[in-house]
Amino acid sequence: MALADSTRGLPNGGGGGGGGSGSSSSSSEPPLFPEIVELNVGGQVYVTRRCTVVSVPDSLLWRMFSQQQPQELARDSKGRFFLDRDGFLFRYILDYLRDLQLVLPDYFPERSRLQREAEYFQLPELVRRLGAPQQPGTGPPPPHPRRGVYKEGSVGGGGDEGLPLGYLDPEQQEGASAGAPSPTLDLASRSPSGGTGGPLLTPSQSLDGSRRSGYITIGYRGSYTIGRDAQADAKFRRVARITVCGKTSLAKEVFGETLNESRDPDRPPERYTSRYYLKFNFLEQAFDKLSESGFHMVACSSTGTCAFASSTDQSEDKIWTSYTEYVFCRE
């Protein structure tokens, strides 16, 4: 009878032991991250699957999202996982993690910076590919054999975009060697390196090697509220965004790292854009950068609209919204 009692007690004891082993196995389970992960990388928000960010073993993201607990990682004010890195270049890191293929757009000037980001995220294969010589077709298009100086928007340029300043076609070269004057040859001879065989002018250089002339337009939209007591109750709101319009090469020269290119990331340097904006919200800071680069203001325009805060009670505060543009020139 005692034996039967002890036999009947075995499952209970086994169940207790099983519970203990279950507790130890649960502690070794991977961290509980959501299947869909939201990342804030330098202010740029990315939404992807957890399996994507952990696709490369031993990488930084693999360790963060498989070896650490969610509460151990930094988050922003909205609960997204925060990484203090270049948010624009992270799009290429994420693309690589999806299928382990490196695909970069043409006219991509940030290759060395992207390689630095790949080193930070500890992706050795991506670092190796970025350090390899570029394949043909990844740089600017070759010059057309029958065109001279290219001018964007001109009839003679036609569809032959991206021809470098100072390019000579074979007929012009023959005429120049025979002593015939050639305006295009003169342009090439005034390149910064001197002579016709040296490097051609960069998009932000003028013929004498100095900075190239051009226009940049700065725009911003602001709003403020005026109460019934007019100016005494004026409440100004923060400028949401400062936009930059102009030639890509000039905008990058003036604003550098403070220029946000996420809305138009692959724009060639000789093209124009109206989709850039600045990473800061102070107009005076933008004006200082333009002044330091030799620009001066030549025009300004502004428009404004007024609306009541409430559509039913027009005795309440009035909200004024304005849009202002400043045109800067460098001669």
pTM of the model as a whole: 0.41
Q: How far is CA 111 from CA 70, 103, 134, in A?
A: 32, 12, 10
CA distance 240 to 40: 19
Closest CA to 152 of 290, 276, 256, 269: 269
Q: Is 277 left (phi over 0), alpha (psi -120 to 50) or beta?
A: beta
Q: Tokens in use for 293?
A: 């680069």
Closest CA to 263 of 247, 275, 280, 245: 275
Domains, the chain: 36-131 (3.30.710.10), 214-228+235-330 (no CATH)
> What's the chain's Rg over C-alpha atoms?
30
Length of the chain: 331
Q: Is 192 left (phi over 0), alpha (psi -120 to 50) or beta?
A: alpha
Q: One digit per residue, pLDDT tens: the chain, 331 residues? A: 444 444 444 444 444 444 444 444 444 555 589 999 999 999 999 999 999 999 999 999 999 999 999 889 999 999 999 999 999 899 999 999 999 999 888 778 889 999 999 999 999 999 999 988 765 544 544 444 444 434 343 333 334 444 444 444 444 444 444 444 444 444 434 444 444 444 444 444 544 455 788 999 999 887 766 655 555 555 655 567 899 999 988 998 999 888 888 777 777 888 898 889 898 888 899 999 999 999 999 999 988 887 765 556 555 567 778 889 999 999 8
Q: Tokens in use for 73?
A: 């990682």
